[in-house]
Amino acid sequence: MKRVAIVLGAVAVVTIAHLTTPRSYFLLHSAFQHLYYLPIILGAVFFGWAGGILTAACTAMCYAPHIHHWQDTNPDYVLNQYAELGSFFLVGLATGLLADRERRRARQLEQKSSELERANMDLEDSFERAKRADRLAAVGQLAAGLAHEIRHPLASIEGAVNVLANPDSPDELQTEFRGIIKKECRRLGGLLTELLDFARPREPRFRRLDVAASVEDAVRLARSTLATSNINIETSLAEHLPAVECDDEQIKQLLLNLLMNAAQAMPDGGRIVVSVAPEGRSLALIVADDGPGIPEEMRTRIFDPFFTTRESGTGLGLAVVQRIVSQHGGRIDVKQNGAQGARFIVRIPIRNGRRE
């Protein structure tokens, strides 16, 4: 109704101005005549071709008295004005058809938009279901791996307890099995510690740090832990390393896990080289060993929780490494180190944007 009032009001204003102007003012009458096109266009835009035709008819009736005044004195002018009335209808029809076409396109776009929105919602629902399925699968894998890792220490402890429960067992045997119980308890404690580190990761505390110092601390700790092993750890740090926005403790844990993983892959001893160098906007930390290497078909699985090729391994060390790298917005790659050995390349952004 508001639009109808606007159209009729425009027709009325032009008509009143037209009829109250003396006939001798031909220029004004010509201007009013062309102003009639405005309500015709508005009616067509608002209500389509039918609205354009009806507005043109209303305008023609309002304009007809002016034409009638000139019927006897200027027949040529009258014919010209009747032709102008025909233009009213043509403009109303053409504008209305164009407006109808645009409305149809708008409805089609709205329909397509609604369909896309529904499809997007369905896709989001499917994605959420897939994520829930992945989480359930991960929980199942975690539980299966934990059960597998706990079974062997428990079996050893149970056997040792049975031996200790026999009062006739020699003292040497009892001492040996007490040592087994302590060893397996330490193993279970270490497993639970690694599991908690993996299952309840703390958020990194980003600070602008000298990574070279963190590397040296991690290497020093690894050397003291592997003092009795025939493992030689070397470092190769580029000069003028930039300060990196990272978590110092997590970077040390990452490097220590990679160093211990490399050392465990070389039970007979070997050489580990830790290299650090800038690469564009990232810093590359490389841990390379000359052990047996990692088969290509296993490289996509080594970061899975509880995946390990060693009987005494928990399979959580590299999973924790990948989590730390992900929290720092970086990535980790595994490659062959020359003829043999493995090469872990960690790239973390120099500027993380989340520094405390």
DSSP letter for each residue of 217-252: HHHHHHHHHTTTTTEEEEEEE-SSPPPEEE-HHHHH
Quickly count: other Cβ atoms within 10 Å of residue 97's Cβ.
14
Sign of the CA dihedral 185, 191, 196, 197?
positive
pLDDT at position 71 is 62
pLDDT at position 273 is 92
- Tokens representing 174? 């009892």
Among 326, 337, 242, 251, residue whose Cα is nearest residue 280: 242
Q: CA 349 to CA 356: how far, in whole Å? A: 16
Q: Where are the alpha helices (DSSP H) in the chain?
A: 2-20, 26-35, 37-69, 75-165, 171-199, 211-225, 248-264, 317-327
Measured between its terminal Cα atoms, the distance across the chain in Å is 60
Q: CA 57 to CA 7: how far, in whole Å? A: 13
pLDDT at position 285 is 92
Domains along the sequence of the chain with CATH? 2-111 (no CATH), 145-199 (1.10.287), 207-349 (3.30.565.10)
Per-residue pLDDT of the chain (356 residues; tens, 9 = 90+): 788 888 878 878 877 777 777 766 767 767 777 777 888 888 888 888 888 888 888 887 877 776 666 665 666 666 666 677 778 788 888 888 888 888 888 888 888 888 888 888 888 888 777 766 665 565 565 666 666 667 777 888 888 888 788 877 787 888 888 888 888 887 777 667 766 666 666 678 888 888 888 889 889 888 888 877 888 999 898 888 888 888 888 888 889 889 988 888 888 888 899 999 998 889 999 999 988 888 777 777 777 766 665 655 556 778 888 888 888 889 999 888 777 788 899 999 988 655 44
Pairing relation of β-strands 270-279 and 231-237?
A: parallel
Q: What residues does 244 pair with on adjacent strands?
A: 209
